[in-house]
A and B are shown apart, each in its own frame.
Chain A
């Protein structure tokens, strides 16, 4: 059996555990949760929910790009917030990032996120190039 195609890019933070940045199967790209780590550093861009969300989405975009996808190929996202009071701040940046495209989404406040992040976002995208 062929191994799954896994995605690895230096444009996004390296995995902080035994997982891949993304795995591709059957035209779908399953992206790991991204936290606001700055690629190539151990630094978190976590000062405000706006900059944290921006960094997370920029990381996701890099992983998507390495898989041949763009933000408008995203089907479903899950947003984990450290504090649901950040819902509107996250929404503003999330909305700007995706523009006219609106993926499906679930959002929750988690009890705690890795590395003390304010936000973590994962997604599933369609790789439409055949």
Chain B
């Protein structure tokens, strides 16, 4: 029995223990209903979009779990090039947000579904320029946000933006 348990993942052992606890309750005179079958583990969904740049390291563009979509930081890199569109903060921000939008779309989300963003700037003097493009992009919708100046960003980018969004359609209930 112990040897069997060792072959299982800690989760399976936990599930087993929970089941035994349930059975124990019944033995004490509880209702004779069968315990509900264990819920299958919900999958993590890897999101891929050819309309956004491929990752430049061992990470994914986004992962979705239940209603939540966790998007990797996007740089001002067009999907079809390795060159940054980085001449001004305005075009850099527009490109980073365009990339995020493509990743969000692949996850079934729109900019209006974003709940939180983090903006990393190479130079906080770009704050107003970034804000102007950012506000135009999100329109009436205003997600929560943190902004910091980073000492340096990958590929020497002027800006990197990450976000968390919510899939509100059917089939993604919490």
Interface residues of A (CB under 8 A from B): 26-28, 68, 72-73, 75-78, 84, 87, 91, 94-95, 98, 102-111, 124, 126, 128-130
- A94–chain B nearest beta-carbon distance, Å: 6
Residues of chain B from 139 to 166 with CB closer than 8 A to chain A in the complex? 149-154, 160, 162, 164
Asked if A76 and B44 make an inter-chain contact with CB atoms under 8 angstroms apart, the answer reads no
Q: CB within 8 A of A128: which of B41, B154, B162?
A: B41
Asked if B58 and A129 make an inter-chain contact with CB atoms under 8 angstroms apart, the answer reads no
**Given A91-B58, A103-B63, 9 other A-B contacts at CB below 8 A?**
A26-B174, A28-B65, A75-B70, A102-B55, A104-B70, A106-B73, A106-B120, A108-B160, A130-B41
For A126, give the chain B residue with the smallest CB separation. Answer: B65
B7 within 8 A of A: no
- A118–chain B nearest beta-carbon distance, Å: 13
Asked if A75 and B63 make an inter-chain contact with CB atoms under 8 angstroms apart, the answer reads yes
B22 within 8 A of A: no
* 26 A–B contacts, CB within 8 A, in A order: A27-B42, A27-B65, A72-B44, A75-B70, A76-B70, A78-B162, A87-B154, A91-B58, A94-B57, A102-B46, A102-B55, A104-B60, A104-B63, A104-B70, A105-B55, A106-B120, A106-B162, A107-B57, A109-B151, A109-B153, A126-B44, A126-B65, A128-B11, A128-B41, A129-B15, A130-B38
Smallest CB-CB A-B distances: 3 pairs:
A106-B73, A95-B58, A109-B152
- B30–chain A nearest beta-carbon distance, Å: 21
B66 within 8 A of A: yes
State how many residues of chain B have any CB contact under 8 Å with chain A: 37
- B108–chain A nearest beta-carbon distance, Å: 16
- In the assembly, what is the distance between CA of A28 and CA of B64, in Å? 12
Q: CB within 8 A of B118: which of A26, A77, A103, A106?
A: A106
